[in-house]
Amino acid sequence: MGVLVLALVWGCGNSANPPVSSISIPDVPDLSLQVVAFARLSEGQVVARGTAARLDYRRSGGRLVASRATADVQPLPGSSLAAFGTLRFVAQDAAGEVPNRRGTASGGVRLDAARGDTALTERVEYDGDVLRGNAPVAAHGPGYRVNGNGLFARVDGSAIQLTSGVEGQLEMEAPR
């Protein structure tokens, strides 16, 4: 979900000729984009791409607000996240402060991984390299299904935890 915020931040400059609206009234965004598509490049490779129904940018504080945002992230080979394959993040609302590398995704946040994992929660906060959530999380994937009351994850995938009380099921191999 932080990746989503970051991806939106990164992708802002890559949008494909979006329509531009008002930029001069203090209470409104300096830049408002409708139907945004973006891509994130790293070392010449596309590592994330996504869309948003609307993206507002306020120059002051470098604040971005997006609605109906989607981001597909391709983890770097060899990274902890690589095992999941391509990750798709979807959030109803996302907001972030680019300089501070902080943000939130809320209004229903969903993650789907190519491997078959899915996670749903109401709200996630991103701070630096860490994602945190205090809302209930429901996740399932290959061989597991779990409900937790919070989450903690590092965006490089080196830690992925459901916290604050978890319960679920693990699929068992058949007896020999």
Decide: is 162 part of the binding site for another protein (CB under 8 A): yes
Interface characters, 113-152, with another protein (x: CB under 8 A): xxxx------------------------xxxxxx-x----
Interface with another protein (CB under 8 A), residue total 46
Residue placing its CB nearer to another protein in the complex, 62 or 116:
116
Distance separating alpha carbons of residues 93 and 102, to the nearest angstrom: 14
Give the phi and the psi of residue 42 in degrees, each rounded to 5: -140, 120
Phi, psi of 90 (to 5 degrees): -135, 130
Among 84, 91, 124, 133, binds another protein (CB under 8 A): 84
Stretch that binds another protein, among 13-21, 27-35, 107-115, 121-129 (CB under 8 A): 107-115
CB of 145 to another protein, least distance (A): 8
* Shortest Cβ 77–another protein spacing (Å): 6
Q: Is 169 in the site for another protein (CB under 8 A)?
A: yes
163 binds another protein, rule: CB under 8 A: yes
**Residue matched to tokens 């939106």:** 8
b/e 50-76 (16+ beta carbons within 10 angstroms → b): bbbebbbbbeeeebbbbeebbbbbbbe
CB of 63 to another protein, least distance (A): 27
Contacts with 174 (C-beta within 8 Å, 6 or more apart), sequence order: none
Pair 58, 75: CB distance under 8 Å:
no
Residue in 82, 128, 129, 156 binding another protein, rule: CB under 8 A:
82
Q: Which residues contact 97 (CB under 8 A, 6 or more apart)?
A: 61, 62, 63, 64, 103
Strand 87-97, strand 130-133: pairing? unpaired
Interface positions, 34-53, toward another protein (CB under 8 A): 46, 49
Interacting residues toward another protein by CB under 8 A: 46, 49, 70, 72, 74, 77-78, 80, 82-88, 112-116, 141-146, 148, 157, 159-176
